[in-house]
Amino acid sequence: MILDDLVKATRKRITLEKKVHPLDELRSQVNVLTLEQEFPFETCLKQPQLTFICEIKKASPSKGQIVKQFDYKKIAHDYERDGVDAISVLTEPKYFQGDLTYLTAVHKEVSLPLLRKDFTIDPYMIYQAKLAGASSILLIVAILTNEQLRCYLKLADQLGLSAIVEAHDETEIQRGLNNGARIIGVNNRNLKDFTVDLTTSQKLREFVPDDILYISESGIQTREDVDQLRHFGVDAVLIGETMMRAKNKKQTLQNLKGES
Ligand SMILES: O=C(O)c1ccccc1NCC(=O)[C@H](O)[C@H](O)COP(=O)(O)O
């Protein structure tokens, strides 16, 4: 399964990165930052209207290369100008052609809350996310033990980072909640065969209490999709490919929001 490959590649990458910049070095840099505890990512998800998180994503395992021209700074500016609420930046290099430096650069360019989209399997990656300017990280239940989930959520909290706890079924949602998740993300993409079914977000909605933020991720293409998800009671949508392929991002976003 693709998640196994992603975890393997991530472990290899992080092992190398730790040799260049050991954990203690990252820790001491984080210590000199003023740790704000405002959780801007969560604040933006709590607004009354649906929150739009749009992604900066060059390639993916399911689609291969999505865009040839990849001016991530311009995309970030366009997203901010056009009314996106938060930005997700893929930092996984092997399968998504992402890079942590994209996140650092985007943080310098825009003031929107940023999600480090990666396959977090080590606390080291949470420190990296903080130093790169993220206000949120991704924790995928399927690749973490309960103890890891609990510890990573605690560390994120200490660093003023929110965490999207991604689940694919009722059991994973329960594990996320039992270990302290405040945000549950449901992935509409089946990671075994890459098929997308937006009703996954509908089917799993009932297992997430109303005081927990609920994000629908992947496969969102049209205004009808967004309307449907709004109707299912999601707090936010995470949209990657549709926005990345859009020639006119402003118009596409307005259309998705139902403003044009
Ligand atoms: O996008 C993939 O092919 C993929 C495959 C395996 C694991 C994760 C994957 N995507 C990460 C994401 O969560 C999406 O980039 C995000 O939800 C946006 O999805 P989309 O709008 O379909 O680009």
ipTM score: 0.98
Nearest to 91 by CA among 68, 124, 42, 52: 124
The predicted structure's pLDDT at residue 193: 87
Q: Is 36 exposed, middle or buried (0-12, 13-18, 19+ CB in 10 A)?
A: exposed
| Torsion angle in degrees (nearest 10) through CA of 172, 178, 180, 182 | 60
Mutate to test the pocket of ligand 1, among 8, 57, 60 (most ligand atoms within 8 A of CB): 60
Measured in whole angstroms, the distance separating CA 175 from the mean position of its chain's CA atoms is 19
Return the closest-CA partner of residue 121 out of 45, 236, 17: 17
Q: Could you give the domains of the chain?
A: 2-257 (3.20.20.70)
Please state the pTM of the whole predicted model: 0.96
The candidate with the shortest Cα–Cα distance to 130, out of 92, 176, 163, is 163
Give the per-residue pLDDT at 38.
80
Residue given tokens 């926005």 in the structure block: 243
pLDDT of residue 90: 98
Report pLDDT for 34. Answer: 63
pLDDT at 33 (0 to 100): 66
Cβ atoms within 10 Å of 34's Cβ, excluding its own: 5
Q: Which residues are catalytic?
A: 55, 57, 117, 166, 187, 217-218
Report the DSSP beta bridge partners of residue 52: 237
Residue nearest atom 5 of ligand 1, based on CA coordinates: 61
Q: Is 159 in the pocket of ligand 1 (CB under 6 A)?
A: no
Helical H runs in 33-99? 40-45, 72-82, 93-96
Ligand 1 close to Cβ of residue 238 (< 6 A): yes
* Euclidean distance between CA atoms 72 and 103, whole angstroms: 9
Q: Give the dihedral of Cα atoms 234, 238, 242, 246; nearest 10 deg.
A: 110
**Ligand 1 contact via 82 beta carbon (within 6 Å):** no
Q: Residue 125 in contact with residue 117, Cβ under 8 Å?
A: no
For residue 191, what pLDDT is reported?
A: 84
Structural contact between residues 154 and 182, judged by C-beta atoms closer than 8 angstroms: no
Distance of alpha carbon 56 from alpha carbon 73, whole angstroms = 9
Structure tokens at 175: 């594990």
Closest residue (by CA) to atom 15 of ligand 1? Answer: 240
Q: State the pLDDT at residue 36.
A: 62
What pLDDT shows up at residue 37? Answer: 63
Is the beta carbon of 218 within 6 A of some atom in ligand 1? yes
Which residues are paired to 59 by β-bridges?
A: 65
CB of 51 closer than 8 Å to CB of 237: yes
**pLDDT tens sequence for the chain (260 residues):** 899 999 999 999 999 999 999 999 999 998 766 666 689 999 999 999 999 999 999 999 999 999 999 999 999 999 999 999 999 999 999 999 999 999 999 999 999 999 999 999 999 999 999 999 999 999 999 999 999 999 999 999 999 999 999 999 999 999 999 999 999 999 999 988 899 999 999 999 999 999 999 999 999 999 999 999 999 999 999 999 999 999 999 999 999 999 87
Helix axes 223-232, 249-257, angle to 10 degrees: 40
Rg from Cα positions in the chain: 17
DSSP state of 207: T
Query: What pLDDT score was predicted for residue 119?
Result: 98
